[in-house]
Amino acid sequence: MAEAFADGWAWWVIGIAIGFPVLLVGITELLGALRRRNSPLAGPVAILRNWVIPAGALLALLVFAIRSPADQVWVRVVATVFGFLLILLVLSAFNVVLFANASEGSWRKRIPTIFIEIARLVLVVVGLAILFAWVWEADVGGLFAALGVTSIVIGLALQNAVGGVISGLLLLFEQPFKIGDHLDTGGVKGRVTEVNWRAVHIDTGSGIQIVPNSTLSGASFTNMSEPDGPYAATADIAFTTDDPPHEVVALLIDVAEGLPLRLPRERVSVEYSGKGAYSVSIPVASPADASRALTVYLSWLWYAARRRGLALDGDSTDPIAEPARLDAAIEDLAPALHLAAEDRDLLRTTSRLQRFGAGETVLGSGVVPDEVHFIVEGAVTLSLEVQGSRLDFAGAERGDLVGHTALTRQRSQAVTTAAGMLTVLTVPLETVDALVRARPRLAAEIGESLDMRREQAETALGELGLTRSMLTDR
């Protein structure tokens, strides 16, 4: 026994027998703490506990306790496994330190994953070569020379394909765009849905267009999502030269400002280039909203231009302006308005039919109306603008009146929007005053309708714990 301790191998056996379990328990506690914190260091620590420490203990037992010769096969096998695991541990630790906590926009965050994987593979091969040269005394110089010659031959044979891949990888490293950005490459325009080492996938709205990275790296393109901020949805619009430019500009701005996708704190701009040509720029949140905003804008503009008698695209005709349709609408509303024969004649000479597109504003808040609208077809929604959002509190349908506050000469607090395709009979305030004076019953019904609308608004505000003072001041 004394000889065993004198030689030292007994101390190694005792140290391994006691130290190995104690070290495993300590590493296990550390690993549990890291996993509870979702720390990226849990990966390297798991490799250390599950593989490196057991392999190291086995190697120490063979070399220092059992005193096996260094040139014995089993010793070399265990040493090779231990060295390989140690290489993996070091690479995993470096990956966590360099890239796991990289901040957005830093060079470490921009490096493509494939670059990291290639570098890791090269380091593993080099490490294994050194390990085999040290443990097995292998001559790896010839191997590296053969690999170098083979790489040159393969590179020359595949230079076109490899060149495209390399240029694509360099594009990924630079990262001039990211997932979700909108690109305009000249021939392709849309949103980036996927980026890999070979190509970029762009959603054009009619399908996914695959654009090779090498194509993008060798040509210019526009990232419409950069820099951050509002994006301008633009449209070129034509009217006739007979339409007064100031009226057209006012129309274009009014319709654009009512769009729900328009950024509220940004201004709409209109440029007139002569000969009835105009360019409209509407601020929206992103390119994804541009096409939808323009679709709604152009449809609303069609109705608004005809309501104002302006010739959009050189055409000012409005099918609803036919006298027969006006007569039919008056006869349809006559019972609800208690109209006599002379009242019908008055409406024919002073009123007109108008149409609104779905979602278009019929009457905004904060204005004193100078005319009222009787709904002929369709329906409207009444809303209150409260703290930057709209609160729907009532609706109106066929035969109802829109613009009650014109009779009281007060500002409207509700926003009236078309719930769908809407046709109204628009009557000037003077004509309505004449009807009310001649028809006391009509005046009473309008007053009751106005009181009901106010009660509905108060109820809607009360349910949310709000008051009229919280209405958005326009």
Check pLDDT > 70 for residue 77. Answer: yes
Cβ–Cβ < 8 Å for 45, 104? no
**CA–CA gap between residue 62 and residue 36 (Å, rounded):** 36
Mean pLDDT, range 390-394, rounded to an integer: 85
The C-alpha angle with vertex 73 and arms to 68 and 75, in degrees rounded to 5, equals 45
Structure tokens at 82: 């231990």
**CA–CA gap between residue 388 and residue 473 (Å, rounded):** 10
Cβ–Cβ < 8 Å for 297, 282? yes
Query: Distance from CA of residue 361 to its chain's centroid?
Result: 27
Per residue in 135-185, pLDDT tens?
Answer: 887 776 666 666 665 666 555 554 555 555 666 666 766 778 778 888 888
Question: Percent of the chain, pLDDT > 70?
Answer: 83
Per residue in 377-390, pLDDT tens?
Answer: 999 999 988 776 78
Query: Facing residues of 210 across strands?
Result: 201
**CA–CA gap between residue 142 and residue 469 (Å, rounded):** 87
Check pLDDT > 60 for residue 471. Answer: no
Mention every residue, 6+ apart, whose C-beta is less than 8 A from residue 317. 306
Q: What is the mean pLDDT of the chain?
A: 82
**b/e map of 274-291 (b: 16 or more CB within 10 Å)?**
eebebebebbbebbbbbe
Cβ–Cβ < 8 Å for 356, 373? no
Radius of gyration of the chain (CA): 39
Length, in residues, of the chain: 474
**CA–CA gap between residue 417 and residue 144 (Å, rounded):** 76
What pLDDT is recorded for position 408?
A: 81
Tokens 């009444």 -> residue: 382
* DSSP summary character for residue 262: B
Per residue in 232-278, pLDDT tens?
Answer: 889 999 999 999 999 999 999 999 998 988 988 889 999 999 999 99
**CA–CA gap between residue 187 and residue 167 (Å, rounded):** 20
- Residue 474 binned pLDDT confidence (cut-offs 50, 70, 90): very low
Q: Which segment, 2-16, 57-71, 124-138, 359-373, is predicted with the most confidence on average?
A: 359-373
The amino acid that residue 341 corresponds to is: A
Q: What are phi and psi of 218, to 5 degrees?
A: -100, 5
What pLDDT is recorded for position 254?
A: 93
Higher pLDDT, 90 or 226: 90
What pLDDT is recorded for position 147?
A: 62
Query: Facing residues of 283 across strands?
Result: 232
CA atoms within 13 A on the CB side of 237: 30
Per residue in 3-52, pLDDT tens?
Answer: 545 555 666 677 777 888 888 889 899 989 988 888 888 888 999 999 99
pTM over 0.85: no
**CA–CA gap between residue 85 and residue 235 (Å, rounded):** 63
